[in-house]
Structure 1
Amino acid sequence: MIGRLMTMTAHPGRGGELAAVLLRVAQGLRGFPGCEIYLISQGAADPDTVHVTEVWRDEASAQAALAAPPRADGPAPADVLALLSSPPHRTDLTVLGGVGLPKSDSRP
């Protein structure tokens, strides 16, 4: 499994709006093949900072999600980008296991 931590900074005062758009993205990923976790969090001390924690079965699954056409009822990538005050910061991870992951894929 692979993971990503995305940190995004919204324009001042628009963190709630960014989080709401990303929650809509998350809703669209429910049931998407290979998407194990897509968690949206907002900074407690800085609500204009929004984090996305992603866990994918493999890189191909993550790339398939990026390549998929936007759902008619979901936000477009431009909707997210318009709310950002700077480019997102991405940290790539190798997922070792833990609570909330499928037992068959988790490592002890």
Structure 2
Amino acid sequence: MIGRLMTMTAHPGRGGELAAVLLGVADRLGGFPGCEIYLISQDRADPDTVHVTEVWQDDASAQAALTAPPLAEGPAPADVLALLSAPPHRTDLTVLGGVGLPAGGRP
């Protein structure tokens, strides 16, 4: 399993909008093959900073989600990018296990 931590900073005062769009992305990923966790969090001290915690079965699953065509009723990548004041920061992780992962969720 792989993990990613994404930190995104919205234009001033638009963190709630960014979080809402990312929650729409999370809805689209519900049931997506290989997606184990896609968690959206807003920074308490800076509401314009939004974090995405991802856990995927493998890198191929994560890549497939990035290249999948957006659904007509869901947000597109451009919707996220339009709200950002700077490029997102990505940290790649090796997932070792923990609460919230499916049974046998250890590599």
Unmatched 5+ stretches in structure 1? none
Q: Report the Cα distance in structure 2 between the residues aligned to 1:12 and 1:4, rounded to whole angstroms.
A: 25
The residue correspondences of 1:81-100 to structure 2 (distance < 5 A) are: 81-100=81-100
Distance apart, 1:103 and its partner CA: 1.4
TM-score normalised by structure 2 residue count: 0.98
Q: Report the Cα distance in structure 2 between the residues aligned to 1:67 and 1:86, rounded to whole angstroms.
A: 22
For the aligned residue pairs, the C-alpha RMSD in angstroms reads: 0.8
Instruction: Name the counterpart of 2:5.
Output: 5
Q: Is 2:26 the partner of 1:26?
A: yes
Runs of 4+ aligned structure 1 residues displaced above 2 Å come to none
Distance apart, 1:55 and its partner CA: 0.2
Distance apart, 1:105 and its partner CA: 1.9
Q: Report the Cα distance in structure 1 between the residues aligned to 2:77 and 2:67, rounded to whole angstroms.
A: 11
Distance apart, 1:106 and its partner CA: 2.7
% identical equivalent positions: 84
TM-score normalised by structure 1 residue count: 0.97
